[in-house]
């Protein structure tokens, strides 16, 4: 007598019609899956992780508790961004190296994108100088100044290091782990799905989401610009390892500036000078040329077929 075989543990359970039931995560459209992913990780990292960090810091980050806060931040990034991102991707897409577009980057592409991101960083510093000069109503300006000082002081304590060993730990927390976890989430899981729905626009949309997700109104424009550029790198090259490396390099510059006690608003033309409008404009003009040259080289050195994948 023939018997109906039992489904294996890896097979979807049969639905009412007898056909395999498609898992929930695979039934979602690419856009809805992206929104679902962002919502889950928002709750985990921004809410659950945020509460844990506040408890660890006892409401205020100080030099006395900064090591515990750094550990809480590191574990939060791993447990609440990296792990759920990898799990969601595996449940929906399966082959993670192919889906995330892991490839060994070419040295010339690494150099071009790192030069470009350093130039972009300097252009954005010039933008920040202009942004800080925009007049606002007195009450609003006083409120924003207070909020800005709190955010800047918190960031300064987290990033500032007083020894080579501490600097290396800061690099792991602020540069290395975010470069991996955030790129897998945004340029990997979210952008990959939005590209399926909107093509190159998915990279732009993901870049905007990346900026908003950091919840810092003072650096929103720079973060969006960086996010769009990272998305462009992945879309153009089909290689997420390249954006991870460039993301790490961008954060490495910020950590190094803090370690060397450079001003937050320093410009490369004159790191020790006050960031005047004239100096910012000169810096912007010079590094715009560098950014365009490096980006054009990157574009011309990456060839694509009609599907958008590198040939």
pLDDT digits (tens, 9 = 90+) for 215-267: 898 999 999 999 999 999 999 999 999 999 999 999 999 999 889 887 655 66
Q: In the predicted model, is pLDDT for residue 97 greater than 50?
A: yes
pLDDT of residue 148: 87
CA 170, 171, 175, 176 torsion: positive or negative? negative
Looking at residue 186, the DSSP 8-state letter turns out to be I
pLDDT of residue 37: 96
Least reliable range by pLDDT among 140-154, 192-206, 258-272: 258-272
Residue 100 token pair = 């995330």
Whole-Å CA distances, 29 to 33, 39, 101: 6, 15, 20
Overall average pLDDT of the 145-172 stretch: 91
Q: How far apart are CA 291 and CA 297, in angstroms?
A: 10
Listed in sequence order, the DSSP H helices in the chain are: 24-27, 30-41, 50-57, 66-77, 83-93, 96-100, 107-133, 138-159, 164-170, 177-183, 191-198, 201-213, 220-237, 240-259, 277-300
pLDDT digits (tens, 9 = 90+) for 288-309: 999 999 999 999 999 754 344 4
Q: Cβ neighbours of residue 270 under 8 Å, at least 6 residues apart?
A: 279
pLDDT digits (tens, 9 = 90+) for 258-288: 898 876 556 665 665 566 788 888 889 999 9
Mean pLDDT computed over every residue of the chain: 87
Q: How far apart are CA 224 and CA 260, in angstroms?
A: 26
Q: How far apart are CA 298 and CA 139, in angstroms?
A: 46
Overall average pLDDT of the 53-61 stretch: 86
Q: In the predicted model, is pLDDT for residue 152 greater than 50?
A: yes
The closest of 253, 193, 89, 127 to 209, measured between CA atoms, is 193
Q: How far apart are CA 176 and CA 82, in angstroms?
A: 12
Residue 206 token pair = 């993901």
Residue % of the chain over a pLDDT of 70: 87
Higher pLDDT residue, 18 or 235?
Answer: 235
pLDDT of residue 85: 97
Least reliable range by pLDDT among 5-19, 107-121, 213-227, 267-281: 5-19
Q: Cβ neighbours of residue 7 under 8 Å, at least 6 residues apart?
A: 13, 14
Q: How far apart are CA 286 and CA 120, in angstroms?
A: 11
CB contact burial 92-119 (16+ within 10 A = b; e otherwise)? bbeeeeebbbeeebeeebeebbbbbbbb
Q: In the predicted model, is pLDDT for residue 10 greater than 60?
A: no
Higher pLDDT residue, 174 or 61?
Answer: 174
Break the chain into its structural domains and give their ranges: 102-300
pLDDT of residue 268: 61
Q: How far apart are CA 174 and CA 162, in angstroms?
A: 15
Q: How far apart are CA 243 and CA 103, in angstroms?
A: 11
Residue tagged 């574990």 (tokens): 75
Q: In the predicted model, is pLDDT for residue 69 greater than 80?
A: yes
The pTM of the whole model exceeds 0.85: yes
pLDDT of residue 270: 60
Q: In the predicted model, is pLDDT for residue 104 greater than 50?
A: yes
């Amino acid at each position: 007598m023939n018997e109906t075989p039992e489904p294996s543990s890896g097979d979807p359970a049969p639905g009412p019609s007898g056909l395999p039931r498609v898992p929930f995560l695979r039934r979602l459209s690419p856009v809805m899956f992206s929104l679902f992913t962002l919502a889950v990780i928002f709750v985990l990292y921004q809410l659950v992780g945020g509460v844990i960090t506040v408890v660890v810091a006892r409401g205020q980050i100080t030099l006395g508790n900064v090591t515990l806060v750094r550990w809480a931040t590191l574990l939060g990034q791993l447990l609440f961004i990296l792990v759920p991102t990898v799990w969601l991707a595996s449940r929906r897409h399966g082959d993670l190296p192919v889906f995330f577009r892991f490839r060994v980057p070419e040295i010339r592409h690494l150099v071009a994108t790192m030069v470009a991101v350093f130039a972009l960083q300097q252009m954005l510093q010039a933008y920040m100088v202009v942004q800080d000069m925009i007049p606002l109503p007195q009450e609003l300006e006083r409120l924003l100044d207070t909020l800005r000082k709190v955010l800047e002081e918190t960031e300064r304590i987290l990033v500032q290091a007083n020894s080579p060993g501490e600097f290396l730990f800061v690099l792991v927390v602020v540069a290395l782990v975010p470069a991996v976890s955030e790129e897998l989430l945004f340029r990997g899981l979210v952008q990959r799905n939005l590209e399926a729905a909107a093509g190159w626009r998915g990279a732009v949309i993901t870049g905007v989401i990346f900026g908003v997700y950091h919840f810092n109104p003072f650096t929103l424009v720079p973060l969006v610009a960086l996010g769009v550029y990272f998305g462009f790198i992945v879309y153009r090259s089909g290689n997420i390892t390249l954006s991870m490396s460039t993301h790490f390099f961008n954060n490495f510059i910020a950590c190094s500036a803090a370690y060397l006690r450079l001003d937050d608003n320093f410009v490369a033309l004159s790191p020790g000078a006050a960031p005047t409008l004239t100096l910012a404009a000169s810096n912007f003009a010079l590094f715009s040329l560098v950014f365009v040259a490096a980006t054009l080289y990157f574009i011309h050195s990456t060839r694509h077929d009609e599907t958008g994948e590198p040939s």
